Structure 1
Amino acid sequence: MRRITSLLIVLLSGLLLAGCATKTRSDALTTTLKAYGSTLRWGDFQSAAQFVEPKVRAAHPLTSLQLARFQQVRVTEYNDDAGPVPTGDFDVQQTVVINLVNIHNQSERSVVDHQTWHYDEATRHWWLTSGLPDITQD
């Protein structure tokens, strides 16, 4: 009987710890997505690049042309109402519609940004693996 009780205690402890880890991961995702969205709403693409997973950022650094394009637009809306959709234990996808105004000719257009986020257990951090939005799309 003691053996069964001990086993139950161990199993319940494991479930509680797993639940805590999931809640911590979920809270971190919410915080990260809000911070990223806020950064883009303010049009701070250089700061937004810091959300990109370091290996992706190193493999695909922002070019001077990309930075110049980002400086030519103002973000007028960042619509993330659809919210993140889990695609695995450590991955989510989110589709965002970003409205941009060209500061030179005041034309407005929308781009759809398909974001992929991955949770790194070692650093306990969510990283954007899909890169910054492609604002050149029509």
Structure 2
Amino acid sequence: NHSHTNFPSPSSNNNNNSISVKLPTINLPTFNGKYEEWMSFFDTFSALIDCNDNLSEVQKLHYLKASLKGDAAKTLDNLELISSNYPIAISLLKDQFQNRRLIVQNHVKALFNISQIQKDSPAHLKQLINSFSTHIRALKGL
């Protein structure tokens, strides 16, 4: 899931004589409150926005709110768009969604809920393997 808010990628330019390469625009990630997607969302958001010293706290909070959907967005519903609320917003989201036990529980639940292969074909088998691999890798990364 990606929002329509774009964050420009830096151009590659190692020295004045090199050719500048225009990298594609990176879309901000979105987060809807699924525990198993929190780590991926927050790592990406941190790299693009949180660690960007060129953005003000108000801009960071705006990007954060624009990236949240559903239950995650409701977590910040009552926060005004002012600079002092950005660290509060990050803290609220971490308190709510950076719960290791719930993240593990949701990945394990997803493993047990992977549907059976409906048709014997390489494509369906590959889809099953990809589903398992995604959750196993996420669990190993915790």
Give the structure-2-normalised TM-score. Answer: 0.24
Q: Which has the higher helix share?
A: 2
Instruction: Please give the TM-score of this superposition, normalised by the length of structure 1.
Output: 0.24
More strand by share: 1
Question: Which structure is larger by alpha-carbon Rg, 1 or 2?
Answer: 1
